[in-house]
Amino acid sequence: MAQEEPRYAPAPFNHPHADVILRASDGVDFKVFKSDLLRSSTVFADMFALPQPTLSNQPDTHRDGLPVVALSESSTVLDALLRFCTLGVSPKLVTLDDVAVILGPADKYQLTSAISMALAALR
Protein backbone atom coordinates (compact mmCIF):
# COMPACT_ATOMS: atom_id res chain seq x y z
CA MET A 1 0.00 0.00 0.00
CA ALA A 2 1.50 3.34 -1.07
CA GLN A 3 1.82 6.07 1.53
CA GLU A 4 -0.37 9.10 0.91
CA GLU A 5 1.44 12.29 -0.04
CA PRO A 6 1.09 15.00 2.60
CA ARG A 7 -1.43 17.70 1.76
CA TYR A 8 -0.65 21.39 1.81
CA ALA A 9 -2.10 23.66 4.47
CA PRO A 10 -4.45 26.36 3.19
CA ALA A 11 -3.47 30.02 2.81
CA PRO A 12 -1.51 31.75 4.12
CA PHE A 13 0.71 28.69 4.58
CA ASN A 14 0.94 27.66 0.94
CA HIS A 15 2.82 30.64 -0.48
CA PRO A 16 4.45 29.80 -3.83
CA HIS A 17 7.67 31.64 -2.88
CA ALA A 18 8.10 30.05 0.57
CA ASP A 19 11.53 28.56 1.22
CA VAL A 20 10.85 25.76 3.72
CA ILE A 21 8.11 23.27 4.55
CA LEU A 22 7.14 22.38 8.11
CA ARG A 23 5.39 19.00 8.13
CA ALA A 24 2.86 18.37 10.90
CA SER A 25 2.54 14.96 12.50
CA ASP A 26 -0.79 14.41 10.73
CA GLY A 27 0.65 14.90 7.23
CA VAL A 28 -0.06 18.56 6.55
CA ASP A 29 2.72 20.63 4.96
CA PHE A 30 3.05 24.32 5.84
CA LYS A 31 5.02 26.29 3.26
CA VAL A 32 6.58 29.17 5.20
CA PHE A 33 9.47 31.59 5.08
CA LYS A 34 12.60 30.82 7.10
CA SER A 35 12.95 34.51 7.88
CA ASP A 36 9.61 34.49 9.77
CA LEU A 37 10.72 31.47 11.79
CA LEU A 38 14.16 32.93 12.49
CA ARG A 39 12.61 36.14 13.85
CA SER A 40 10.25 34.22 16.12
CA SER A 41 12.31 31.35 17.48
CA THR A 42 15.88 30.78 18.61
CA VAL A 43 15.27 27.05 18.17
CA PHE A 44 14.49 27.49 14.46
CA ALA A 45 17.42 29.89 14.14
CA ASP A 46 19.74 27.24 15.56
CA MET A 47 18.14 24.53 13.42
CA PHE A 48 18.64 26.44 10.19
CA ALA A 49 22.22 27.31 11.14
CA LEU A 50 23.08 23.59 10.93
CA PRO A 51 24.10 22.10 7.59
CA GLN A 52 20.97 21.19 5.64
CA PRO A 53 20.49 18.02 3.55
CA THR A 54 21.13 18.43 -0.14
CA LEU A 55 18.22 18.49 -2.55
CA SER A 56 16.90 15.00 -3.16
CA ASN A 57 13.85 13.22 -4.45
CA GLN A 58 13.12 11.80 -1.01
CA PRO A 59 9.66 13.00 0.12
CA ASP A 60 10.72 12.97 3.78
CA THR A 61 13.51 15.54 3.20
CA HIS A 62 12.33 17.59 0.19
CA ARG A 63 9.12 18.42 -1.64
CA ASP A 64 8.73 20.67 -4.67
CA GLY A 65 12.38 21.68 -4.32
CA LEU A 66 11.98 22.81 -0.70
CA PRO A 67 13.49 21.25 2.42
CA VAL A 68 10.97 19.51 4.68
CA VAL A 69 11.24 19.73 8.46
CA ALA A 70 9.10 17.08 10.17
CA LEU A 71 7.64 18.23 13.49
CA SER A 72 5.78 16.27 16.16
CA GLU A 73 2.92 18.78 16.50
CA SER A 74 -0.44 18.38 14.79
CA SER A 75 -1.55 20.68 12.00
CA THR A 76 -4.02 22.35 14.37
CA VAL A 77 -1.26 23.30 16.79
CA LEU A 78 1.15 24.36 14.04
CA ASP A 79 -1.52 26.46 12.38
CA ALA A 80 -2.19 28.35 15.63
CA LEU A 81 1.51 28.85 16.41
CA LEU A 82 2.42 29.92 12.89
CA ARG A 83 -0.51 32.35 12.66
CA PHE A 84 0.63 33.96 15.87
CA CYS A 85 4.34 34.05 15.02
CA THR A 86 4.18 34.99 11.36
CA LEU A 87 0.96 36.99 11.19
CA GLY A 88 0.56 38.26 14.75
CA VAL A 89 -2.88 36.65 15.00
CA SER A 90 -3.56 35.34 18.51
CA PRO A 91 -5.35 32.01 18.74
CA LYS A 92 -8.50 31.96 20.84
CA LEU A 93 -7.47 30.64 24.26
CA VAL A 94 -10.61 30.14 26.32
CA THR A 95 -9.98 27.00 28.36
CA LEU A 96 -7.00 25.66 30.24
CA ASP A 97 -6.71 22.95 27.57
CA ASP A 98 -6.45 25.65 24.87
CA VAL A 99 -3.55 27.24 26.74
CA ALA A 100 -1.84 23.89 27.37
CA VAL A 101 -2.02 22.95 23.69
CA ILE A 102 -0.19 26.15 22.73
CA LEU A 103 2.11 26.64 25.72
CA GLY A 104 3.96 23.31 25.41
CA PRO A 105 5.03 23.73 21.77
CA ALA A 106 5.62 27.48 22.26
CA ASP A 107 8.08 26.62 25.02
CA LYS A 108 9.63 23.79 22.99
CA TYR A 109 10.41 26.14 20.09
CA GLN A 110 11.15 29.13 22.36
CA LEU A 111 8.46 31.27 20.74
CA THR A 112 8.69 33.96 23.41
CA SER A 113 5.78 36.05 22.16
CA ALA A 114 3.50 32.99 22.04
CA ILE A 115 4.62 31.99 25.54
CA SER A 116 3.79 35.48 26.82
CA MET A 117 0.38 35.37 25.13
CA ALA A 118 -0.43 31.95 26.61
CA LEU A 119 0.66 33.02 30.09
CA ALA A 120 -1.46 36.17 29.82
CA ALA A 121 -4.44 33.99 28.94
CA LEU A 122 -3.87 32.01 32.13
CA ARG A 123 -4.21 35.18 34.17
Query: Which is higher by pLDDT, 65 or 32?
Result: 32
Mean pLDDT of 83-92: 78
Q: pTM for this structure?
A: 0.85
Query: Which is higher by pLDDT, 93 or 74?
Result: 74
59 band by pLDDT with thresholds 50, 70 and 90 = low
For 115, residues 6+ apart whose C-beta sits below 8 A from its C-beta are 103, 106, 107
Percent of the chain surpassing pLDDT 90: 43
Report residue 81: phi and psi, to 5°.
-65, -45
56 band by pLDDT with thresholds 50, 70 and 90 = low
Q: How far apart are CA 117 and CA 36, in angstroms?
A: 18
